[in-house]
Amino acid sequence: MTDDELIWRIAGGSGDGIDSTSQNFAKALMRSGLDIFTHRHYPSRIRGGHTYVEIRAAGHEVQSRGDGYNFLLALGDSFARNPKEEAVYGDEEIKPLSENLDELREGGVIVYDSGLLEEDDVAELNLEERAEENDWHVFPIDLRGMAKEHGREVMRNTAGVGVTAALLEMDLDHIEDLMTDAMSGDVLEANLSILREAYEMANEEYEFEHDVRAPTGEHDEEQVLVSGSNAIAYGAIDEGCRFIAGYPMTPWTDVFTIMSQNLPHMGGISEQVEDEIAAAALAVGASHAGAKAMSGSSGGGFALMSEPLGLAEMTETPLVLVESMRAGPSTGMPTKPEQADLEHVLYTSQGDSQRVVFAPGNIEEAYDQTRMAFHIAYEYQIPTIVIYDQKLSGENKNVDESFFDREPNPSLGSTLTEAELEDAAHEAAGKFMRFQSDPEETENGVSPRSLPGQKGGRYLASGNEHWPSGHIAEDPDNRVLQMDRRTRKIESIRTELDEEHDSQQTYFGDDAADLGIITWGSQQGTVEEAVERLNDGGHSVKGIGVSDMMPFPEDEMTEFLESVDEALVVEMNASAQFRGLLQKELGRFGPKLTSMLKYNGNPFEPGEIVEGFEIRLGGDSQEPTAQVRFEPAAGD
């Protein structure tokens, strides 16, 4: 964390409006000219349970959450199950204050709702003593009482934002504009009134001896605040997706909800079905019929999609799935991030199955790689999966509005028209040779498809191995020809990605460095900031964020690993799954790879990676202060 940034954390209970309040405050900060990055922490409950949202705001670009934070607005948990300390979950009411003190930076600010959090409970936290030790500036304010005077207790959030703005010496213009956009009538007037009253009260009653202030900045163009889920949904829509089927499961539900809200206005269809088997099967059917289709889920739900996924692979039906990882196994920690489904996604479905897997590392990549997933799926008639996690799903970041100003692509890829079908190969009985196996006719592995109802396009689509016409076949020669053809698709896709498109891997740091950090997925921005800090601190480090999981970018990774003496592989799981993929594809580099693993339900902070690098590759002999684990290089 630098001195020229604000990291504001609002904490309360699930159902207390923490997320919506933080969204509006983040937008207000963005509109004032600041770059924004948010981090969301919430329990697996509808009502109650400690939740917080962290907003990092700075006058420079931010790609990650920071190290700790410097301003806490603790509202208390109004839906607490039990206020007694000896209860199973402890005193939940006070957790929005008590659970957040350890990460508050020296010199930080605390505002807590003295109308909900009782003085005796706060006293048990030794808050006064800890504040003196850490130079914290504490403001107990009866936000609840203030809200009740205005008729609605829920408005204590608005009062808290008013106090925050005063203590940060912000004006209220952007906050009021956002309220005006979202509300009307008496509700708007009541919220504006309590916002201004809280702002004026804080200015009149308190002296601002703290150093935490809202930074200043300016954007060159209009900004939008979007999440990874937004980006995936927008990428799908822009690439022509007009059908989605799914079943709600955190955190995939966000993408499903956004698509469901938008598709009906575009002539598309959204179906919520009874389970994930049906969801994936419906998407396969819609794609077979000629729609651009997708489905998705998280962990356990995606496991149910294994059979429809295999069907799409055997019938060569284009399909895009998204898999949003969360901490497992089984139900695990449904609302906490983890990167432990990689092997599950790469290898689910039986037999020598073929699919493409992309793992975007930030919001821009989530949009681009979702579009690429549809292009690949429909050009090569292959299931393509976008794998991400709860962190990327829910975090918000500002992006140039013009970034999304792209041409749509409704193309169905390698699909023949009726005119083209007239000249296509047919068997003696008239069936279209949908699954041609001649290597000379299918050099890239793709045998063009027809759509149901097209004249001359009739064929059989079977989950069994089949002849070119689709009839079931167990002939050994045919099996080898068909398997070899389907396998050639992966080789052709890798060639296209290497030769016709910009790399989907992201490079950062010192090109000449002989030490590296490798990561994948949502940890990319955090690693990028860590690499920048390490280089500023006198190290020479380069980094790479890898997005192509399958087909693996062998040439790029070979070049990177040949250029370094050692590399730290950073990922959020306990079994080093991505490092395992690296060693599977490029085993000779195993002795260069050391893993840094975190799997406690919280994503990495940049400082943790800096510390881990200095311990494992920088010669520092200290033990890590973060809750991480290191796995030594192969052979050590």
With a pLDDT cut of 90, the percent of the chain lying above it is 91
Q: What is the Cα–Cα distance from 517 to 571, expressed in whole angstroms?
A: 11
Q: What is the pLDDT of residues 334-345, one digit of tens each?
A: 999 999 999 999
Give helix 524-536 / helix 606-616 axis angle, nearest 10°: 60
Q: Which long-range contacts (CB under 8 A, 24 or more apart) does 605-609 make?
A: 605/64, 605/65, 605/66, 605/67, 605/68, 605/526, 606/64, 606/66, 606/67, 606/526, 606/529, 606/530, 606/533, 607/67, 607/530, 607/533, 608/67, 609/517, 609/526, 609/527, 609/530, 609/568, 609/570
What integer pLDDT is reported at residue 87 of this predicted model? Answer: 73
Amino acid letter for position 212: V
What integer pLDDT is reported at residue 344 of this predicted model? Answer: 96
What integer pLDDT is reported at residue 151 of this predicted model? Answer: 79
What integer pLDDT is reported at residue 633 of this predicted model? Answer: 86
Q: What is the pLDDT of residues 31-50, one digit of tens each?
A: 999 999 999 999 998 889 99
Q: What is the Cα–Cα distance from 603 to 615, expressed in whole angstroms?
A: 19
Distance between alpha carbon 223 and the CA centroid of its chain, in Å?
A: 20
pTM: 0.96
What integer pLDDT is reported at residue 209 of this predicted model? Answer: 93
- Please give the average per-residue pLDDT across 57-84, as a whole number: 92
What integer pLDDT is reported at residue 82 of this predicted model? Answer: 73
Total residues found in the chain within this entry: 636
Task: Give 1 or 274, the one with higher predicted confidence.
Answer: 274
Q: What is the pLDDT of residues 111-141, one digit of tens each?
A: 999 999 989 899 999 999 999 999 999 999 9
Q: How many CA atoms lie within 13 Å of 409's alpha carbon, on the beta-carbon side?
A: 18
Measuring CA to CA, which residue among 122, 108, 371, 110 is closest to residue 237? 371
Contact 283, 313 (CB under 8 A): no
Hey, is 296 helix, strand or coil? strand
Residue with tokens 């997005």: 547
Hey, is 624 helix, strand or coil? coil
Contact 280, 311 (CB under 8 A): no
The answer to whether residue 3 scores a pLDDT higher than 70 is: no
51 DSSP β-pair partners: 12
pLDDT tier at 2, thresholds 50, 70, 90: very low
pLDDT tier at 96, thresholds 50, 70, 90: very high
Q: What is the pLDDT of residues 565-620, one digit of tens each?
A: 999 999 999 999 999 999 999 999 999 999 999 999 999 999 999 999 999 887 77
Q: What is the DSSP letter of 623?
A: P
Task: Give 150 or 56, the one with higher predicted confidence.
Answer: 56
Q: What is the Cα–Cα distance from 244 to 390, expressed in whole angstroms?
A: 20
Backbone angles phi, psi at 546, to 5 degrees: -100, 130
The answer to whether residue 555 scores a pLDDT higher than 80 is: yes
Edge to edge, what strands does the sheet with 293-297 contain?
269-272, 243-246, 293-297, 319-325, 383-389, 356-358, 548-550
What integer pLDDT is reported at residue 1 of this predicted model? Answer: 41
End-to-end Cα, the chain, rounded Å: 34
pLDDT tier at 302, thresholds 50, 70, 90: very high
What integer pLDDT is reported at residue 277 of this predicted model? Answer: 98
Q: What is the Cα–Cα distance from 297 to 287, expressed in whole angstroms?
A: 18
Q: Which long-range contacts (CB under 8 A, 24 or more apart) does 613-620 make?
A: 613/515, 613/517, 613/530, 613/534, 613/539, 613/541, 613/568, 614/534, 614/539, 616/568, 617/515, 617/566, 617/568, 618/539
Q: What is the Cα–Cα distance from 186 to 239, expressed in whole angstroms?
A: 42
Q: How many CA atoms lie within 13 Å of 293's alpha carbon, on the beta-carbon side?
A: 27
Hey, is 57 helix, strand or coil? strand
The answer to whether residue 504 scores a pLDDT higher than 70 is: yes
What integer pLDDT is reported at residue 160 of this predicted model? Answer: 97
What integer pLDDT is reported at residue 636 of this predicted model? Answer: 67
Q: What is the DSSP letter of 13?
A: E
Contact 93, 37 (CB under 8 A): no
The enclosing H or E element of 285 equals helix 276-289
Q: What is the Cα–Cα distance from 497 to 519, expressed in whole angstroms?
A: 20
The enclosing H or E element of 72 equals strand 69-74
Amino acid letter for position 133: E
Q: What is the pLDDT of residues 405-434, one digit of tens each?
A: 999 999 999 999 999 999 999 999 999 999
What integer pLDDT is reported at residue 266 of this predicted model? Answer: 95
Q: What is the pLDDT of residues 82-95, one digit of tens each?
A: 767 677 777 889 99
Q: What is the Cα–Cα distance from 582 to 634, expressed in whole angstroms?
A: 12
pLDDT tier at 313, thresholds 50, 70, 90: very high
Residue with tokens 């033990």: 623
Q: What is the pLDDT of residues 178-192, one digit of tens each?
A: 999 999 999 999 999
Q: What is the pLDDT of residues 441-485, one digit of tens each?
A: 899 999 999 999 999 999 999 999 999 999 999 999 999 999 999
What integer pLDDT is reported at residue 88 of this predicted model? Answer: 79
Mean pLDDT across the chain: 95
